Amino acid sequence: MNFYPAVSASSAFPKDGMKNKDEVVNVMKAYAIENNFVLVTARSQVPILHLKCAKGGAYKTRRDGDEKAKRITQTCRVGCPYLLRFSFRKKEQKYYLLKSLHEKEKYHNHPLSPKELSTLHEGRMATVTKEDFIIAGQLFTENSKTIKIQDLLNDESAPGKMLASHIIDD
C-alpha cells in the first residue's frame, strides 16, 4: 500500500491556539481543500476534537435483513489513516493542535490530487466558482434546453465545467 504525505497541519494552525471550535474546524477544512483532501469531524467532545480525512473508515450499511436486500453501493471510503487531534485547555480557553500518536496518522493512503478531491461533494463544492453559479442561474432564467446545460457541463473550457447536474438541481 502506498502512503502519501500531507503538508504539515501545523503550518495552517497558529501555535498560540484558537478559542473557538468552529473557527478551528473552518481553518483546518480550508487547509485540507488547499491540499486536495477533505476533513470531517471524527470526534467532538470537549476537551477533545478529532478531524479525519473524509476517506477514512469503511462503508457500513444501515439496513437490517438478509444480504439480498442490501444495496451494493459505491463508496469513497478507503480506510485513510490521516487524523488531526486537538485539545481544549481550560486554563487558556483555547484549542491546540496535538502531535500524532502514530506515524501513519500523518499520511493518506490515496493520492492527493484535484481529481481525487472532486470525488467528494465538499471537494466539488469548494471548486465551484461564483461565475459557475451565475451561468447556471442565467441558463435557468432563460429556460434553456437541457441539452444546452449538459453541453456546458461537459465542455472542459467552459466556466461552468465544475457544475454537476445534481449541484444545479439543488
One digit per residue, pLDDT tens: the chain, 170 residues? 788 888 888 888 999 999 999 999 999 999 999 999 999 999 988 899 999 999 988 777 666 666 665 566 677 888 899 999 999 999 999 999 999 999 999 999 998 988 888 788 788 777 777 777 787 778 778 887 777 776 776 666 655 555 555 555 54
* Class of residue 52 by CB neighbours under 10 A (exposed 0-12, middle 13-18, buried 19+): buried
**Residue where a domain terminates, one of 86, 111, 136:** 111
Q: Please check whether residues 90 and 149 belong to one and the same domain.
A: no
Question: What's this model's pTM, rounded to 2 decimal places?
Answer: 0.71
Q: Please check whether residues 86 and 15 belong to one and the same domain.
A: yes
Q: Is residue 134 part of a domain?
A: yes
Q: Please check whether residues 38 and 87 belong to one and the same domain.
A: yes
Q: Please check whether residues 74 and 134 belong to one and the same domain.
A: no
Residue 79: all three cell numbers together:
480506510
Q: Please check whether residues 30 and 95 belong to one and the same domain.
A: yes
Domain containing 19 equals 4-111
Specify whether the backbone of 45 is left (phi greater than 0), alpha (psi in -120 to 50) or beta.
beta
